[in-house]
Amino acid sequence: MTANIRNFCIIAHIDHGKSTLADRLLEHTGTVMNRDKKEQMLDDLELEQQRGITIKARAVRMRYKQDGQEYELNLIDTPGHVDFQYEVSRSLACCEGALLLVDAFQGVEAQTVANAFAAMEHELHIVPVINKIDLSMARPEEVAEEMMNALGTDPDDCVRVSAKTGIGVDELLKTIVAKIPAPSGDPDATLQAMVFDSNYDDYRGAITYVRVMQGTVRKGQKIQFIRTGSQHEVVELGQFVPQREPCDTLSAGQVGYLICNIKSLGDVHIGDTVSITGDKHAPALPGYSRPKRMVYCGLFPSDGQDFSELRDALERLAVNDPSFEFEPETSDALGFGFRCGFLGLLHMEIIQQRLENESNIDLVQTAPNVTYEVVNKRGETVTIHKPQDVPDPGDIEEFRQPIVRCNVIVPGDYIGAVMKLCQERRGIQKNQEYLGANRAMLTYDIPLAEVVYDLHDKIKSCTRGYGTLDYEMVGYEPADLCRMDIMVNGNRVDALSIVCNRADADRRGRAVAKKLKAEIERHMFEVAVQAAIGSRVIARETVPAMRKNVTAKCYGGDITRKRKLLQKQKEGKKRMKAIGNVEISQKAFMAVLSDGE
């Protein structure tokens, strides 16, 4: 019965209590036994528990009885951080409604606004929820007014809850049943299901998570993935409660998983449509728009041996997280590895840690950079993913950098500090509006390269933790950029090249050379560290040689004896320098990242 199914997700800013509210809903509907209870039930990745943040969206089915009727509630818990926006957009496509959760003390934040507009674009029914009403500093009335000003919700519709203590959760469950529409879909029509996530199991192959839009899927049935055209038999299907629980059928409106013993990872694509085999299959669903990768960096196995292991690990991870991409590349300094694209710096850090934890691979990572566009003298537009690909200055007609529109929500006292910070980052102010008596939203267009490294941290520190940032891509604009190369011992180290603004090049070059001087270990010969733009050297530092006093054994006597020994040492050092290799540690690669402020 589709009339008794409700599919919804929880969207909110980071740390507003999504995962805790999900725990309370599981508890109140009796989905989880008392003995299995633990904090953040749905955050089951080891990394999520260590960091206390949600990284992956998770689905769970709950049964809820009201007025003699039993309802099936399918909840999808989503992350709050801007880097995992793609996980949120995939969840929205599988639901009819969304709980928009706002902290009763912190109020409307930047991600709250972004997620609410995304839910409106998907035409979901939004249930506004004010959480943490048990706090002594809670101000639910003001927050309800902020939500009305920023998002147009009715203050009377706001459900007030405390996810920690369980106050108001029963009322919230009644509101979900009453307000969120039942899915429209005919269980007897041709099968049409959306793949919204997948996971790789070493024993069962790829496990696909689906939301059935039309029709019914049964155990033992033959199905096909429309995008790839591959056909498989359903070995097991079921729902998450929150662990996998097998059942015999999934019909229109339900959310669950399919296991088809798929061993080839290329057969599973998130956003694909599952239907029946043959020519009478259902049309493909629109799927998801491809996420725009914002940040690129090189990942290399640290001992050069595990190249194929690294590729297998990346392929397994790509099945579970389609928002990053990778392609093979070689580096003179680091050997064979992969160029990987990510949605942001936190996303990059999470992927690196998941590779090290889940696949036990030791990685060397190059300094991250954003994507640029170059128009050459022939009028062709080239996309640049790594600084080594930037053509010679004589061949560049126009150098373009990506610009993002940043929405920063700050208390009134800190507006001046945030404006100063954004202007230092070459930001152009577009808008300023007040959400309440003491909170404003500033909108700036800022180059992405200035945003991804540490703008979020800097905003947090200059607003004492109250400022929040959300950004979206606007496009590319021309700028005065150049490629800065780092040369160690006269050789260009391709992995250390960076693209930066010409006005900043001297400062950054000096800072990088100074950092590298401190990080590179001393050798038997002196090592020159230089920063150069084209053939012009803009900064130099020298790592001094280790010294041995070869004249220690000479006392008195003719000066020519000492000279002869020093000359001999000089020749030896010269020969060493010509054939010696300089070791550069991973710490030194990461030192290039910080701009030495």
190-213 core/surface letters (b: 16 or more CB in 10 A; e: else): ebbbbbbbbebeeebbbbbbbbbb
11 is in an annotated binding site: no
360 is in an annotated binding site: no
Tokens matching residue 540: 């130099």
Secondary structure of residue 197 in the 3-state scheme: strand
Sign of CA dihedral 40, 44, 47, 53: negative
Contacts of 78 (CB under 8 A, 6+ apart): 9, 10, 11, 18, 54, 57, 84, 87, 88, 91
Give the up-direction half-sphere exposure of residue 73: CA atoms within 13 A in the CB hemisphere: 31
15 is in an annotated binding site: yes
Secondary structure of residue 151 in the 3-state scheme: helix
Which candidate, 264, 252, 270, 263, places its Cα nearest to that of 209?
270
Say if strands 481-488 and 527-533 run parallel, antiparallel, or are unpaired: antiparallel
330 is in an annotated binding site: no
18 is in an annotated binding site: yes
420 is in an annotated binding site: no
16 is in an annotated binding site: yes
180 is in an annotated binding site: no
Tokens matching residue 454: 């540490």
Q: Is the preceding omega at residue 155 within 30 degrees of 0, hence cis?
A: no
298 is in an annotated binding site: no
Name the DSSP letter for residue 252. T
Which candidate, 514, 507, 570, places its Cα nearest to that of 542?
514
Sign of CA dihedral 515, 521, 527, 532: negative
Residue 395 burial (CB count, 10 A): 12
4 is in an annotated binding site: no
Q: How many Å apart are CA 97 and CA 122, to the nearest integer?
A: 10
Q: Which residues does the annotation place in the binding site? A: 15-20, 131-134
Positions at the binding site for GTP: 15-20, 131-134
